[in-house]
Amino acid sequence: MEDPSVEEIRFGGALGIDSIALEAAGLSSRDIPLLVFVPFKIGDQPSLAEDCIRQFGTIVYEDLGADEPEPFPGRKTAIVPRLPHLEIGPVDRVDAFWKGQTRSGTYMTMNIAKNSSIEVLDILGEMRQ
């Protein structure tokens, strides 16, 4: 959170690293928007994730595409690009905590970023090396 050029941070909203990172950003002294893209609705999340989202999420987008054949299709694709209908621009970099699973939302988000020529920092991958 030391980088003054950071204007907003986007989170996946799930329990785990999404919640930990959101809480850390929310507790920082920076006053920047924390955008959370929640799988399904906030009330559908485990209580720890829900509490974190409600406490620290500045702007929350719920993925209501629960009837789609693939879980969370809108959420994974919404985190990275410019979204004119939400009046938010594209991200400059994706910091990912990828566990090495190729069938995961993190992997899909990383590929969306890479295919859009957006820098991806695989934090866990850096730690494995």
pLDDT tens for each residue of 14-41: 888 888 889 998 998 778 888 888 877 8
Here the CATH number for the domain that contains residue 63 is 3.40.50
Instruction: Tell me, yes or no, whether 79 lies in a domain.
Output: yes
Q: Is the Cα dihedral 10, 70, 110, 74 positive or negative?
A: negative
Residue 40's nearest CA partner among 15, 17, 72 is 72
Angle 71-76-79 from CA coordinates, rounded to 5°: 150
Q: Decide if 122 is inside a domain.
A: yes
Task: Report yes or no on 3 lying in a domain.
Answer: no
Number of domain units in the chain: 1
pLDDT at 9: 86
Residue 116 belongs to a domain: yes
3-class state of residue 46 by DSSP? coil
The residue segments making up the domain with residue 89 are 9-128
Q: Comparing C-alpha atoms, which of 9, 89, 78, 70 is closest to residue 37? A: 78
The model's pTM is 0.73
pLDDT for the residue 92:
83
Query: Residue 2: inside a domain, yes or no?
Result: no
CB 13 within 8 A of CB 38: yes
In a domain, 4, yes or no: no
Q: What is the pLDDT of residue 55?
A: 93
Residue 91 located in a structural domain: yes
Print pLDDT tens along the chain (129 aa): 467 778 888 888 888 888 888 999 899 877 888 888 887 788 888 898 899 999 998 888 776 655 554 544 556 566 776 555 555 667 788 888 888 888 887 888 888 888 888 889 888 876 665
Q: How far apart are CA 129 and CA 117, in angstroms?
A: 23
Asked whether residue 1 is domain-assigned, the answer is no
pLDDT at 69: 47
